[in-house]
């Protein structure tokens, strides 16, 4: 078993191929999942969350709690005189 030697162009080709494989794997296994998660979070913030907040704001329970707390505040010493 002797030492295997490769010439300079082959060495450069292997170096570039390894670098390309590393970049491709980083993108595939880290970049795509992070980008997809960020996109899903943006969609949730833009579309889903405001609808949920609107539903909660229109709820009878929420409205009654708001009225109760406003009345309590108005009747307390911190409210208007």
| Model pLDDT for residues 5-53, shown as the tens digit of each residue | 889 999 999 999 999 999 999 999 999 999 999 999 998 888 888 888 8
pLDDT of residue 61: 86
Q: How confident is the model at residue 80 (pLDDT cuts 50, 70, 90)?
A: low
pLDDT of residue 51: 82
Q: CB of 56 within 8 A of CB of 62?
A: yes
pLDDT exceeds cutoff 70 at 79:
no
**Other CB atoms within 10 Å distance of the CB of residue 55:** 10
Average pLDDT over residues 49-59: 81
């Amino acid at each position: 078993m002797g030492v295997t030697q490769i010439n300079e162009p082959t060495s450069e080709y292997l170096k570039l191929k390894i670098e390309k494989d590393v970049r491709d794997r980083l993108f595939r296994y880290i970049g795509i999942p992070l980008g997809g998660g960020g996109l899903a979070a943006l969609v949730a913030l833009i579309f889903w969350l405001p609808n949920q907040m609107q539903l909660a704001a229109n709820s009878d329970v929420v409205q009654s709690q708001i009225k109760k707390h406003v009345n309590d505040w108005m009747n307390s010493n911190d409210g208007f005189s």
